[in-house]
Amino acid sequence: MKILMYSTHEHEQTYAEESAKETGNQVTMEMVPLTKETVAMAKGYDGVSVQQTSRIDEEVYRALHELGIKQISTRTAGVDMFDLQAAAQNGITITNVAIYSPRAIAEMGVTHAMYLLRNIGRFNQRMDNDYDFRWSGDLIAKEIYTCTVGLIGAGHIGGATAQIYRALGARVIAFDRHPDPELAPYMEYVDFETVLKESDILSLHVPLLPSTEKMIDAAAIAKMKDNAILINMARGGLVDTQALIDALNSGRLGGAGLDTLADETTYFGKQVDAEEVPDDYHELEEMPNVVITPHVAFFTNVAVRNMVRISLDDVVAVIKGQRTKNIVK
């Protein structure tokens, strides 16, 4: 079977080659994303795998259909880059890797939170700019076991996040439309308003949908605790960026840990010139109480291997008409 991997990164190559050797499938790796300009590269292949956050245009699905391609397997959990209706209309099945390493994302979120909770950025700013090494009372920190951590979304990643915080002694509360009884030892399910009002650390773990876009806006922030910390390891579009900047500038929020931003597709994963980076990034990056990482919460050896191997396995499963739990509906 011939499989074309779009948007292949160097760190994925070893695992793609490992899969090809074990299965006997031909896996061709290309660095470019799947777009209307590159879709013709799939001619002669049985299936495709992608990894991108940029939107896939409707005409791409028609072109794949004409090439006889019946599926797209994304090496990500998120699927907001797809037009699922257009895919279905063209007989294309979409699969994702919903569970590749929940702990990878959970650990990064906790890392951001601990950095902010202990005011490390603020200490660094004073030491670097003013050679001020004093123990300032305005930088005294909370200990994690005294905090309430709120989760919006308690799926695989949210659940792993809850377990880590609970092990550290924090109280964990969560809002999720589909509570999981197995997570009861680690968290208390509450409503959305309660999560906003009671959380010292608010961590987002939901997909980007029309119903969740800008769910953390000025109104939501106004309900949050004074000096609360916002952690977003999910999708940038969940947060109204300007409302977040305003809340940080005013001191309403104590900090933000962001592995994703609303307009990241224009520069994350690339090396660009300074003028190509949006103003909101520059404004956030200059704040000592903000941590930004370029959508790399997933970036561990375990996660990358699982993303590649599961994605390639799903390509084969869909083409052969076999069952896979990763079909996106």
Q: Which residues are catalytic?
A: 235, 264, 295
- Assess contact for 308 and 15: CB atoms under 8 A: yes
Cα(8)–Cα(48) distance, integer angstroms:
12
Chain position carrying tokens 């029309």: 210
* DSSP labels, 207-273: ---TTTTT-BSHHHHHHSPTTEEEEE-S-GGGB-HHHHHHHHHHTSEEEEEES--TTGGGTTTS---
**SS3 category, 141:** coil
Cα(32)–Cα(10) distance, integer angstroms:
12
Number of H helices, E strands in the chain: 11, 12
Query: How many other C-beta atoms can be found within 10 angstroms of the C-beta atom of residue 289?
Result: 21
Exposed / middle / buried, residue 327 (Cβ in 10 Å: 0-12, 13-18, 19+): middle
**SS3 category, 171:** strand
Cα(146)–Cα(111) distance, integer angstroms:
17
